[in-house]
Structure 1
Amino acid sequence: MQPERLLLIVEDDFDFARTLGRSFERRQYRVLLAASYDEARALLRQHVPGYAVVDLKLTGNLSGLACVQMLHAHDPAMLIVVLTGFASIGTAVEAVKLGACQYLAKPSNTDDIEAAFGHQVASADLALTARPTSIKTLEWERIHAVLAETDFNISEAARRLGMHRRTLARKLEKQRVK
């Protein structure tokens, strides 16, 4: 019989957290759900999870990175995967520095997350994609990051990007933000 696999999911989107939790329960994990940094910290007083999935953008004062740091300080052996819809190289590097074993962009499924738990050590043998990133993709990623920074305030995002608000609105209409 294999030892209990206890997973902590820190995600403020209740429906997503519940769906992800059910999927992991079907894989023989016992799942704990927390919607914030404070809820995760409270659960650690009573439980010792070996795995954690943390959303990068949590509601409230503290981000998922603060949560990663707290979880890693609580148990350095815990395997922590950061999930985000706002992926960037900077936050990926910071998440790994703070104790995450992997950083995945949404949408990621249970298979991706479980594989990330198994991939603990960085490797130079990973295959690189042959397709270079396009200028349009880079522009879209930057727009999305600034929108996230401004809590999706289009006027403020346009100001920070140095473009007219209507121009930004047109670009967003072409690629809907979800």
Structure 2
Amino acid sequence: MNPAPRRQGLLVDDDPLYARTLQRALERRGLQIAVAHDVVQATALAEALRPDFALVDLKLGAESGLSLVAPLRALRADMRILLVTGYASVATAVEAIKRGADNYLPKPTTVETILRALADDEGEADGETGVEVEETMTPLSRLEWEHIQQALQDSGGNISAAARLLGMHRRSLQRKLAKRPGRERPLAPDAHG
């Protein structure tokens, strides 16, 4: 009796440490994972492997993971495409689904959440993990903080420019930043890509 073939996945994330960590965690769950760090590499790997699913980070350096959704869908209509991002917003979630993504997960996310999202519409209902996972959402304060950090990063750390991007008064932004001691400056890019 031959063992069932392992599901092949493509993980696209520009943070090598995060990608390697997630790759190992998913492979421990019995999946086969190829990793790409940019759109060109992801497209080449997808064409060669024709994976069962793809986990795509929204921000890939200067590129957008949204640009990969249509080409991946064209390669394989039944491919599960999950967009994963540390900069979750309703607008990008809607855009991802409009472009053909199957799901949209905010970072940080768990392997169980990813597996459950991959199992959706396949009747597996978490059959691969055997783990009950509590449904939780990213707190609004966390999303706001990440949005502020993105604006600060996009404006080169300039508080006035970041406040304009966010549509708020500079002093209001300074008060929000003061609530998080030691975090007055923008955070360095991290694994929440």
Tell me, yes or no, whether TM beats 0.5. yes
Are 2:158 and 1:158 equivalent residues in the alignment?
Answer: no
Classify the secondary structure of the residue corresponding to 1:31: strand
Counterpart contact for 1:53–1:82, Cα < 8 Å: yes
| TM, length-normalised to structure 1 | 0.79
Over 3 Å counting, the alpha-carbon distance change for 1:148 and 1:103 in structure 2 is same
Question: Residues 94, 147 of structure 1: CA spacing in aligned structure 2 closer, same or farther, 3 A cutoff?
Answer: same
Hey, what does 2:54 align to over in structure 1?
52
How large is the RMSD of aligned CA atoms in angstroms?
A: 2.6
Quote the residue 2:8 is aligned against. Answer: 6
Give 1:162 deviation, angstroms. Answer: 3.2
Q: Which runs of 5+ in 1 are unaligned?
A: 122-128
TM-score in terms of structure 2 length = 0.74
Note if 1:171 corresponds to 2:171: no
Contact 2:47/2:75, CA 8 A, preserved across alignment: no
Are 1:82 and 2:83 counterparts?
Answer: yes
What is the number of equivalent residue pairs in this alignment? Answer: 163
| 2:31 aligned residue | 29
| Identity value in percent | 38
4+ residue runs over 6 A deviation: none
Q: Which amino acid aligns with 2:85?
A: T
Deviation at 1:5, TM superposition (A): 0.8
Task: Say if 1:86 and 1:145, in contact at 8 Å, map to a contact too.
Answer: yes
Matches within 5 A, 1:80-119: 80-119=81-120
2:66 partner SS? helix
Unaligned stretches of 5+ residues in structure 2: 123-134
- Partners of 1:12 and 1:173 lie apart in 2 by 30
2:44 equivalent in structure 1: 42
